């Protein structure tokens, strides 16, 4: 960093005097943002902290079960070596580099090397398919892919072979690369990351963030994570997700804290053991991971003595799950609200108060409101869309090469999140649901969360998701539930009826699912969010609707026989009523005929009817004569 702007009141004499002070300098002072004129995270944070050779940066547990610590000095040297390899392969400032590496130290070193070069990091999951890789490469124009061998089978299936540097191939080259390398003097406006949104209600977006956003990540780390020196922060998000960038890399290190990494699948008992063994002081998990731990019988036995704070973001947090941890561990889960476009900007902070079930309060430096369709703030208690003013460096720079979509995301000066919320009189914000996921049934508008929670409380169900389906008969929507059954439980008609009856005791009538489908698993994003768009588009499986028992009383007149309409009977040679004996309809009294006008149809062309494997000859059709109506003189 060369110089800091502290609002309009910045004084040159107030500048920090050492690299360490610069590295950990607060992003906000007296309510004003302090954004440096030049900022490169690798140089101004990691290499600054590396001046203390013993300062520990990360502790990692690999797939081999070995716990491996790394200091900031080791990371700084390795990232410098990686940056030389990137430059040798033609990577220049502004070039995009696709990183397909697991949650390990290699991932940290590669990301730091990209930033040091001035390249734009495009993190992605190692399981990405060849088709998605081709789309991502074409969309971002990435110059290079850095990947582990796990991603190789899909990479070689790509139609156009990209330039690839595999991590294992790079290891011997790193030994001969220099420990020091030049750093690009990045501007806060230069792009640093292209992240991927969850895409739970629509297709995922490529979200561009600047170096100013990388600098501003320390705000959430200070006021929501509450991280500082001496803390060991474990953010369990996978390496390809935005949360891993903010809470396993940028945020904690900008506060001088150590981070923890684990390369492996989530398993509740192992997670409890690792929280204890790691000496975790701050745990950041998804609501789904907390829910799985809350159901584990060994939760009480694994109370970590060093653990002091639990936080969660990424999805709806069930207050009952938080209550389990409060009762068992004496700790509440502090919810936070974030998107790929924003980082955490609302949360239950360390000092700002706490209300169970709420998202919390806006973090310092963020003007947040619930607004209507016209972009006006609504009064407390009224529903509206959660929005944040576009005057904060934490906000994204735009969707990658999609100016129209970027413009649609704003309503005046407000970035609109697409989520429905309310604010209470104390300013706490309450999440109601994704706008696209909100349900309308029997005149009520509501979130599916209550229905999903009631379903999960059933002993036979381990996971659930509820979506709305257009109700062509009654209008509005009816609820379709997708549930994952517990091991050993088989779905049946009787179980469906039992589940409906059970949830009907705690839910309002409009919240009870009309349809229940048993599935092996729910479609989720890498961060554990349910992809509801896939569920809404999924065809119904199992018995047809007309074989399913109704869950509510039918409306008066629903499915009652309609008044019969006369039809021409060629055998009788006259108009008859369907369903009755072939008797001619009286044609002498006009008032007895149905109240409709008969419009003669044009003579049809001859058509052919086919049965399976046996074509029948063409049948000549004789048009039906118009009905003759005789009137009495």
Contact criterion met (CB below 8 Å) for 249 and 259:
yes
| Of 124, 130, 127, 129, the residue nearest 107 (C-alpha) | 124
Residue-range domain boundaries for the chain: 438-547, 567-633
pLDDT value at 196 more than 60: yes
Q: Are strands 206-210 and 398-399 parallel, antiparallel or unpaired?
A: antiparallel
Average pLDDT over residues 126-141: 94
Question: What does residue 245 show for φ and ψ, rounded to 5 degrees?
Answer: -65, -45
pLDDT band per the 50, 70, 90 thresholds, residue 574? low
Helices 268-278 and 287-294, packing angle to 10 deg: 100
pLDDT for the residue numbered 335: 93
pLDDT for the residue numbered 225: 96
Count CB-CB contacts under 10 A for residue 558: 10
pLDDT value at 443 more than 80: no
**Higher-scoring residue by pLDDT: 581, 374:** 374
Question: What does residue 177 show for φ and ψ, rounded to 5 degrees?
Answer: -80, 150
pLDDT value at 186 more than 90: yes
Determine the Cα–Cα distance for residues 416 and 368; give it in Å rounded to an integer.
10
pLDDT for the residue numbered 612: 33
Average pLDDT over residues 506-526: 85
Q: Encode 367-392 in three state secondary structure.
A: CEEEECCCCCECCCCCCEEEEEECCC
Average pLDDT over residues 240-246: 93
pLDDT value at 113 more than 50: yes
309-342 pLDDT, tens digit per residue, is: 999 998 888 888 999 999 999 999 999 999 999 9
Contact criterion met (CB below 8 Å) for 510 and 442:
yes
Name the DSSP letter for residue 509: G
Determine the Cα–Cα distance for residues 102 and 27; give it in Å rounded to an integer.
30
What average pLDDT does the structure give for the chain?
Answer: 83
Helices marked H in 428-547:
449-456, 493-504, 532-537
**DSSP class per residue in 282-338:** EEEE-HHHHHHHHT-TTGGGG--SS--EEEE-SSPPPHHHHHHHHHHTS--EEEEEE
Q: What percent of the chain has pLDDT over 90?
A: 56
521-562 pLDDT, tens digit per residue, is: 888 876 667 877 778 777 444 433 333 444 444 444 444 444
347-368 pLDDT, tens digit per residue, is: 997 676 788 889 999 999 999 9
Specify the 3-state DSSP secondary structure of 206.
strand
**Higher-scoring residue by pLDDT: 546, 160:** 160
Lowest-confidence region among 370-379, 402-411, 555-564:
555-564
pLDDT value at 394 more than 60: yes
Determine the Cα–Cα distance for residues 138 and 98; give it in Å rounded to an integer.
11
Instruction: Please give the torsion angle defined by the CA atoms of residues 451, 456, 462 and 467, in that order, rounded to the nearest 10 degrees.
Output: 0
Continuous segment of H or E residues that includes residue 559: none
pLDDT for the residue numbered 451: 86
Determine the Cα–Cα distance for residues 545 and 517; give it in Å rounded to an integer.
12
Bridge partner list, 213: none
pTM for the full predicted model: 0.74
pLDDT for the residue numbered 323: 93
**Higher-scoring residue by pLDDT: 478, 614:** 478
Q: Are strands 309-312 and 282-285 parallel, antiparallel or unpaired?
A: parallel
pLDDT for the residue numbered 65: 78
67-109 pLDDT, tens digit per residue, is: 889 999 999 999 999 999 999 999 999 999 999 999 999 999 9
| N-to-C CA span, the chain | 106
pLDDT for the residue numbered 357: 86
Contact criterion met (CB below 8 Å) for 367 and 388:
yes
Q: What percent of the chain has pLDDT over 70?
A: 79
Lowest-confidence region among 2-16, 176-190, 435-449:
2-16
| Of 516, 480, 520, the residue nearest 495 (C-alpha) | 516
211-228 pLDDT, tens digit per residue, is: 999 999 999 999 999 999
Specify the 3-state DSSP secondary structure of 99.
strand
- For 438-547, the fitting CATH number among 3.40.50.11540, 3.40.366.10, 3.30.300.30, 1.10.645.10 is 3.30.300.30
Helices marked H in 118-196:
130-140, 152-155, 167-176
Rg (CA), the chain: 31
Q: Are strands 414-423 and 429-434 parallel, antiparallel or unpaired?
A: antiparallel
* Total residues belonging to the chain: 633
**Higher-scoring residue by pLDDT: 144, 618:** 144
**DSSP class per residue in 470-482:** E-TTTSSEEEEEE
Average pLDDT over residues 170-177: 96
Question: What does residue 477 show for φ and ψ, rounded to 5 degrees?
Answer: -135, 155
């Amino acid at each position: 960093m060369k110089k800091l702007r502290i609002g309009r009141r910045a004084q040159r004499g107030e500048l920090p005097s050492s690299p360490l002070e610069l590295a950990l300098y607060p992003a906000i002072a007296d309510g004003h943002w302090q954004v440096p004129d030049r900022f490169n995270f690798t140089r101004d944070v990691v290499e600054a902290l590396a001046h203390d050779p013993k300062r520990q940066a990360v502790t990692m547990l690999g797939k081999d079960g070995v716990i491996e610590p790394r200091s900031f000095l080791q990371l700084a040297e390795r990232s410098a070596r990686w940056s030389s390899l990137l430059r040798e392969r033609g990577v220049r400032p502004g070039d995009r580099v696709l990183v397909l590496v697991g949650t390990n130290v290699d991932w940290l070193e590669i990301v730091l090397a990209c930033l040091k070069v001035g390249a734009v990091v495009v993190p992605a999951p190692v399981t990405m398919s060849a088709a998605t890789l081709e789309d991502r490469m074409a969309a971002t124009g990435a110059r290079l892919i850095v990947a582990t061998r796990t991603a190789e089978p899909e990479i070689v299936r790509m139609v156009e072979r990209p330039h690839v540097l595999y991590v294992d191939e790079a290891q011997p080259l790193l030994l001969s690369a220099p420990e020091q390398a030049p750093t690009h003097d990045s501007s806060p406006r230069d792009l640093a990351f292209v992240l991927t949104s969850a895409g739970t209600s629509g297709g995922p977006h490529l979200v561009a963030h600047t170096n100013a956003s990388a600098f501003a990540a320390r705000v959430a780390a200070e006021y929501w994570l509450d991280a500082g020196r001496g803390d060991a922060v474990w953010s369990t998000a996978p390496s390809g997700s935005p949360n891993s960038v903010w809470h396993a890399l940028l945020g904690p290190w900008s506060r001088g804290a150590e981070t923890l990494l684990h390369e492996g699948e989530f398993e509740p008992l192992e997670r409890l053991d690792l929280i204890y063994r790691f000496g975790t002081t701050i745990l950041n998990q998804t609501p789904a991971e907390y829910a799985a731990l809350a159901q584990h019988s060994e939760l009480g036995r694994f109370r970590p003595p060093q653990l002091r704070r639990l936080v969660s973001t990424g999805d709806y947090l069930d207050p009952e799950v938080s209550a389990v941890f409060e009762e068992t561990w004496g700790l509440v889960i502090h919810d936070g609200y974030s998107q790929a476009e924003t980082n955490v900007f609302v949360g239950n902070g360390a000092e700002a108060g706490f209300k169970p079930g709420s998202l919390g309060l806006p973090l310092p430096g963020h003007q947040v409101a619930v607004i209507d369709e016209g972009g006006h703030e609504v009064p407390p208690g009224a529903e509206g869309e959660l929005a944040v003013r576009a005057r904060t460096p934490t906000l994204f720079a735009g969707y990658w090469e999609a100016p129209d979509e970027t413009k649609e995301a704003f309503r005046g000066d407000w970035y609109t999140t697409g989520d429905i919320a309310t604010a209470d009189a104390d300013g706490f914000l309450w999440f109601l649901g994704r706008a696209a996921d909100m349900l309308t049934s029997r005149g009520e508008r509501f979130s599916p969360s209550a229905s999903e929670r009631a379903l999960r409380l059933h002993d036979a169900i381990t996971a659930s998701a509820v979506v709305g389906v257009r109700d062509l008969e009654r209008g509005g929507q009816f609820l379709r539930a997708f549930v994952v059954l517990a091991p050993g439980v088989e779905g049946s008609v009787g179980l469906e009826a039992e589940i409906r009856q059970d949830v009907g005791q705690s839910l309002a009538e409009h919240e009870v699912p009309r349809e229940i489908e048993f599935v092996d698993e729910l479609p989720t994003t890498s961060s554990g969010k349910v992809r509801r768009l896939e569920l809404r588009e999924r065809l119904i499986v199992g018995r047809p609707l007309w074989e399913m028992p109704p869950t509510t009383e039918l409306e008066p007149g629903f499915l009652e026989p309609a008044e019969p309409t006369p039809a021409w009977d060629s055998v009788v040679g006259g108009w008859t009523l369907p369903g009755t004996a072939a008797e001619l309809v009286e044609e002498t009294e006009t008032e007895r005929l149905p109240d409709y006008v008969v419009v003669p149809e044009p003579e049809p062309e001859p058509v052919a009817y086919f049965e399976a494997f046996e074509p029948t000859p063409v049948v000549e059709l004789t048009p039906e004569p118009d009905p003759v109506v005789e009137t009495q003189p």
